[in-house]
């Protein structure tokens, strides 16, 4: 009866890894990721050509690099999704420690590439952004702490995870990178809510976030400039937001035609932060709605699978990863249509980028590992486990 209700899959002793993975993975979500990556390559063929010409590279230089990084990201995703939740947790802890150390050392060894925010390590042939790798590791570590706090005589894991989140947010704000800081806090808040947080405490946290935003506005020129630009009733047509807004308006329902868009020649970040503007101009609202549907499908299907999960750690970690993935996509598209202030955040698996693609592949691999179908213990088994 338990298997009928919770969608469990019978255990097959000695079953090879690949057949077992194929039988238990969410094939629809994997298909959505592959389609998103294909759309990213398609849009890169148009959006990255002007930048390649400007920098003296051959026309499809950035497309080839995106295909390379995307191949690494998909490989990481598939390999991670084949792991057990316990192995994912162990590797995530190690990855989190490494990424956190890299984040702390950014002010000493990092670079800003002329963008005013020290977020990257330059490797010469590529760059690495530690915060991208920190996010999935933090979600898993925080979920582990929260799940441990639910055990009888367990540690104060919720308090520990909150302190850890605040420390990470502080380092991110120093860069400054308020977008990633908000994403980390959001991921922690979603997991805390699922873990049973009282609504009153969540409201208090929201008030504290608003107060912190007011403080940042008063003390950070970088933050204030972006908020002022967002709140201004008029959009400067010569800014990235101005170009993106006009491109989306020109695209209409069906777009101006493949390769006929003009915004890619004006936007320096057309292949990264504003890739959705290129999609809207050349392919119209139709492609944008398809992209939104793909992201929504991955998030919703992940939540539906996690609702059947009895293990608190898997449920919390999976929820945090799915929420972060969906909200990052929402923030990127929201900035392009001026529903949100500029954040400098990529569109997962569609925008060009090395760190964001590979880290996104690892994060989705973790999510797919947590949402794979597995036998669920009965209520009696769980109660007996707690009694022990």
Condensed to tens digits (0 to 9), the pLDDT of residues 232-280 reads 666 656 667 777 878 888 888 888 887 777 777 777 777 788 888 888 9
Q: What is the pLDDT of residue 130?
A: 92
Q: What is the pLDDT of residue 1?
A: 37
| Mean per-residue pLDDT, 296-314 | 94
Q: What is the pLDDT of residue 13?
A: 54
pLDDT, one tens digit per residue, over 152-161 is 888 898 889 9
pLDDT, one tens digit per residue, over 103-142 is 999 988 888 877 767 888 888 777 889 999 999 999 999 9
Q: What is the pLDDT of residue 15?
A: 75
Q: What is the pLDDT of residue 291?
A: 95
pLDDT at 8 over 60: no
User: What is the distance between the alpha carbons of residues 3 and 311, in angstroms, rounded to a whole number?
Assistant: 15
pLDDT, one tens digit per residue, over 204-218 is 777 877 887 787 777
Q: Which residue has the higher pLDDT, 10 or 79?
A: 79
Q: Which residue has the higher pLDDT, 232 or 81?
A: 81
| Mean per-residue pLDDT, 140-152 | 92
Q: What is the pLDDT of residue 258?
A: 78
Q: Which residue has the higher pLDDT, 325 or 113?
A: 325
Is the whole model's pTM more than 0.85, yes or no? yes
Q: For residue 379, what pLDDT band results from cuts at 50, 70 and 90?
A: very low
Q: What is the pLDDT of residue 5?
A: 41
Beta bridge partners of 121: 128
pLDDT at 3 over 80: no
pLDDT, one tens digit per residue, over 327-363 is 999 998 988 887 887 777 889 999 988 889 999 999 9
Q: For residue 219, what pLDDT band results from cuts at 50, 70 and 90?
A: confident
Highest mean pLDDT among 49-58, 79-88, 243-252, 265-274: 79-88
Q: Which residue has the higher pLDDT, 171 or 238?
A: 171
Q: What is the pLDDT of residue 173?
A: 85
């Amino acid at each position: 009866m338990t298997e009928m209700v919770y969608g469990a899959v019978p255990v097959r002793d000695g079953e090879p890894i690949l057949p077992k993975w194929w039988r238990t993975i969410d094939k629809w979500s994997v298909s959505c990721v592959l389609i998103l990556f294909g759309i990213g390559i398609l849009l890169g063929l148009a959006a990255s050509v002007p930048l390649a010409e400007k920098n003296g590279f051959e026309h499809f230089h950035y497309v080839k690099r995106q295909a390379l990084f995307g191949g690494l990201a998909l490989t990481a995703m598939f390999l991670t999704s084949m792991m057990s939740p316990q192995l994912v947790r162990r590797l995530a802890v190690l990855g989190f420690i490494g990424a956190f150390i890299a984040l702390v050392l950014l002010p000493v060894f990092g670079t800003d590439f002329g963008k005013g925010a020290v977020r990257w390590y330059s490797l010469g042939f590529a760059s690495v952004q530690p915060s991208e790798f920190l996010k999935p590791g933090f979600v898993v570590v925080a979920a582990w702490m929260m799940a441990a706090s639910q055990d009888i005589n367990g540690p104060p894991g919720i308090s520990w995870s909150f302190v850890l989140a605040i420390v990470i947010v502080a380092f991110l704000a120093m860069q400054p990178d308020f977008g990633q800081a908000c994403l980390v806090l959001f991921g922690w808040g979603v997991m805390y809510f699922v873990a049973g947080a009282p609504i009153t405490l969540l409201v208090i946290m929201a008030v504290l976030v608003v107060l912190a935003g007011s403080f940042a506005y008063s003390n950070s020129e970088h933050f204030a400039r972006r908020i002022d630009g967002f709140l201004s009733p008029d959009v400067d047509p010569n800014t990235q937001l101005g170009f993106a807004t006009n491109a989306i308006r020109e695209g209409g329902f069906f777009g101006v035609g493949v390769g006929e868009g003009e915004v890619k020649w004006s936007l320096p970040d057309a292949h990264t932060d504003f890739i959705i503007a290129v999609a809207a101009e050349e392919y119209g609202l139709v492609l944008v709605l398809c992209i939104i549907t793909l992201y929504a499908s991955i998030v919703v299907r992940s939540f539906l699978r996690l609702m059947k999960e009895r293990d608190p750690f898997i449920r919390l970690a999976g929820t945090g990863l799915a929420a972060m993935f969906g909200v990052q996509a929402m923030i990127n598209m929201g900035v392009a249509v001026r529903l949100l202030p500029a954040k400098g955040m990529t569109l997962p698996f569609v925008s060009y980028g090395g760190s964001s693609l590979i880290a996104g592949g690892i994060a989705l691999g973790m999510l797919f590992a947590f949402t794979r179908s597995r036998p669920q213990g009965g209520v009696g088994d769980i109660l007996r486990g707690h009694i022990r």
